[in-house]
Amino acid sequence: MTDPAPFLLIEDAPSLQQLYQTILTLEGHQVHGAVTAADGWEAFRTTRHPVALLDLMLPDRDGLDLMADMLALAPETRVIVITANGSINKAVEAMRAGAHEFLVKPFDDKRLLAAVENARRAAPNLTRLPPAQVGPTGELIGESAVMERVYATIRSVAPSTATAFITGESGTGKELCAQAIHDLSGRAGGPFIALNCGAIPQDLLESEVFGHLKGSFTGAIADKPGAAAAADGGTLFLDEICEMDLALQAKMLRFLQTSTVQPVGATRPRKVDVRILCATNRDPQTEVRAGRFREDLYYRLHVVPIHMPPLRTRGEDVITIAETILARLNAEEGRNFAALAPGVRDRFRAHPWPGNVRQLINTLRNVVVLNDGPVVTEAMLPPDLIAEASPTSDAGPAARTAAALHSEDLIGRPLAEIEQIVIEATLARCNGSVPRASRKLEVSPSTLYRKLESWRQRRDAAE
């Protein structure tokens, strides 16, 4: 049966273009062919193909840059990248930037058709989600491109039994992400147990996870089931899992392999049915290399990675979140705030929010508790936020950045630090879109992705 929408094939070698197109056509697929990035982009802008096969080595443009533009225009497109054997690193980079799958030349007919079939089934233009499943999920708020990708991953992983490994800075909503996965899963009727491994002393953490029997240690005055047993039939969310010591990591690995728990002081293990979700604000691979996190446990847990983006890269989401929080706090505190003043909106957009959404909530709670409406003004903001404000409240992000670069505060700072300020401000103006920001800054999207990742790892390591 012919698909309702054609596929796009961008391959500069005429012989391979003809070969791939013939294989796909014989299987009943419609194919639009292009031999240059320019022709492929023009075809994609017109049709927005649900599946695209893209050679990364094109004569007129880098394939990664083209893919970034395609996904910025149509994030639902499933891109299969094609690369030569000597360019595996580029294929991996493409996967990190949003590619659905990659093929390494030479590949046979079966490999090509399998990749296309997987992409066809996943493409929403061909198998569309019900309208109720479009947009934000659970308690998560925002409609930026980076969050739409998070929502898509949550909906894909939720019905499965796979372990999700959630990363992100403190305050980005990792627990809300885990809760959303649980709520959309077949275990939604079961318990959701969240345990913060970094908030519990290490000598008590084993008991908190696996439980203990009365008298098993000093202070054990009664039996305690533990979080793993309490989550039986549901989901156990282990936050800040990289804070768990190595001895307990070994027991956690055994738990994952056997689905049994043995409380401290017990002689027999107990079978439980628990789905594990975990999160950390550290870089787990760095922790593995440093010997602080077991490699075998990492690979057992790191099945579906989900990265929660920092608030400063989410563009207008900061305003959407602020308005939603303001309405909630109004009800809680009996206030009558109805809006944010334009100057407050500008300050919120420009602020780096090192504490992310949690800091934004605390800021608004401070305003609501100490003031009354109907409009949140700049004078109501906490002193630390006012001190970091831009020169003029009605200036846009670009004007604030330009003013900052000419201020005394930045004179003498390292160029790398100034570069980060400019890039993050540009991303904010582009609503978090890396491809759009890269065009404004005249650099490739892959360069921005690498810089953002290096800054994230540096921040995680410093925490």
Tokens representing 286 are 């760095």
Helix count and strand count (H, E) for the chain: 20, 14
d(CA 205, CA 198): 9
Q: Which of 124, 155, 151 has its CA nearest to residue 50?
A: 124
Is 145-309 in the same CATH topology as 7-122?
A: yes
Contact 305, 167 (CB under 8 A): yes
First-to-final CA distance of the chain: 54
Domain 312-462, CATH number (from 3.20.20.150, 1.10.8.60, 3.90.930.60, 1.10.3720.10):
1.10.8.60
d(CA 54, CA 70): 11
The SS3 assignment for 276 reads strand
Contact 224, 261 (CB under 8 A): no
Name the pTM for this structure.
Answer: 0.58
185-233 tens-digit pLDDT: 889 999 999 999 988 888 788 888 998 788 777 777 788 888 999 999 9
240-291 tens-digit pLDDT: 999 999 999 999 999 988 889 888 877 788 899 999 999 999 889 899 999 9
Q: Which helix (H) or strand (E) holds 104?
A: strand 101-104
Residue 207 CB-density burial (10 A; 0-12 exposed, 13-18 middle, 19+ buried): buried
**What are the contacts of 91-94 at 24+ separation with CB within 8 A?**
91/56, 93/64, 93/446, 93/449, 94/56, 94/63, 94/64, 94/67
d(CA 141, CA 352): 18
How far, rounded to the nearest angstrom, does the alpha carbon of residue 191 sit from its chain's CA centroid?
Answer: 25
Instruction: Write the CA distances from 384 to 106, 135, 267, 347, integer angstroms.
Output: 58, 34, 55, 12
Q: Which of 338, 308, 313 has its CA nearest to residue 460?
A: 308
Q: Count how many Cα atoms sit within 13 Å of the Cα of residue 153 in the half-sphere of its side chain.
A: 21
Tell me, which fold does domain 7-122 have in CATH? Rossmann fold (3.40.50)
Q: What is the pLDDT of residue 394?
A: 42
Q: What is the pLDDT of residue 399?
A: 42
Buried b (16+ CB within 10 A) or exposed e, 317-355: bbebbbbebbeebbeeeebebeebbebbbbbbbbbbbeb
Strands (E) across 175-234 are located at: 192-196
Q: What is the pLDDT of residue 402?
A: 42
Q: What is the pLDDT of residue 276?
A: 94
Specify the DSSP class assigned to residue 8. Answer: E
Q: What is the pLDDT of residue 129?
A: 40
Tell me, which fold does domain 145-309 have in CATH? Rossmann fold (3.40.50)
Tokens representing 452 are 């953002």
Mean pLDDT in consecutive groups of 10 residues from the start of the chain, 463 residues? 70 84 82 89 87 89 88 86 74 79 80 84 56 67 89 86 90 95 92 92 86 75 85 94 93 90 82 94 90 93 91 92 93 89 91 91 93 89 69 42 46 75 79 74 77 76 62
Contact 240, 196 (CB under 8 A): yes
Q: What is the pLDDT of residue 87?
A: 66
Strands (E) across 332-454 are located at: 339-340, 375-376
320-342 tens-digit pLDDT: 999 999 999 998 888 889 899 99
The domain limits of the chain are 7-122, 145-309, 312-462
